[in-house]
């Protein structure tokens, strides 16, 4: 496993050592000891989630507040997505900034997103199977979201806005200013 810190401190890109032969391939997608050694972070994942989405579906930007905040390790099993992590740590010099990376079945990259970030993705291929590990359990009362088209964050989703497929819940997420005004961070 190779790990490099992303443009925003605390986020890490993981690249696995892949062993291929005539049968196919094998790789270790996560090793807690190696991750801790390379990042200094001790993570205990407790929940795995998987979603299937079609082209132009945008999911996000989601996060859990307070004691239910979650760190995530995300990857794509099939297809291609543009993955986005927005720093919502109020004391961070990167507050309100985002990091984007293409995750796909071919590059097998993974992105570790620490607690204190909003997360979302848009599907670039005809469909995508998205998988992620969380270090805390989902709690409906702590669920919150950042508006995908927030004018202060200015995310480039690489798809025209009128082509995006977004559910009503995600369309009604809060702007960064509203999150701050309502003390939701």
163 is annotated as an active-site residue: no
Both tokens of residue 7? Answer: 């443009």
Q: Is the pLDDT of residue 77 over 90?
A: yes
The C-alpha atoms of residue 29 and residue 75 are separated, in whole angstroms, by: 10
- Residue in 12, 98, 119, 132 annotated catalytic: 132
| Bridge partners for 119 per DSSP | 62, 85
What's the pLDDT tens digit per position in 79-89?
Answer: 999 999 999 99
Residue 16 has pLDDT above 90, yes or no: no
CATH number of this structure's domain 44-181, picked from the four choices 3.10.20.30, 2.60.34.10, 2.60.120.10, 3.10.20.740? 2.60.120.10
Number of alpha carbons in the 13 Å side-chain half-sphere of residue 88: 33
Query: Of residues 12, 62, 119, 148, which has the active-site annotation?
Result: 62
> What residues does each domain of the chain span?
44-181
Token pair, residue 131, equals 């998988």
Which DSSP helix (H) or strand (E) runs through 35? Answer: helix 32-39
Does the pTM surpass 0.75? The reply is: yes
Residue 94 designated active-site = no
Q: How many whole angstroms separate alpha carbon 49 and alpha carbon 122?
A: 17
- The pLDDT of residue 129 is above 90: yes
């Amino acid at each position: 496993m190779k790990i490099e810190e992303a443009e925003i401190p605390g986020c890490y890109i993981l690249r696995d050592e892949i062993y291929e032969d005539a049968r196919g391939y094998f790789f270790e997608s996560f090793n807690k000891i190696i991750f801790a050694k390379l990042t200094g972070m001790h993570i205990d994942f407790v929940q795995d989630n998987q979603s299937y989405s079609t082209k132009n579906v945008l999911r996000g930007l989601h996060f859990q507040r307070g004691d239910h905040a979650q760190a995530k390790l995300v990857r794509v099993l099939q297809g291609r997505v543009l993955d986005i992590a927005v720093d919502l740590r109020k004391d961070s010099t990167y507050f309100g900034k985002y990091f984007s990376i293409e995750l796909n079945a071919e590059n097998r990259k993974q992105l570790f997103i620490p607690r204190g970030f909003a997360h979302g993705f848009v599907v670039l291929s005809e469909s995508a199977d998205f998988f992620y590990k969380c270090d805390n359990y989902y709690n409906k009362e702590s669920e919150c979201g950042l508006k995908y088209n927030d004018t202060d964050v200015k995310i480039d989703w690489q798809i025209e806005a009128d082509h995006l497929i977004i559910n009503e819940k995600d369309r009604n997420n809060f702007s960064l200013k509203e999150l701050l005004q309502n003390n939701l961070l």
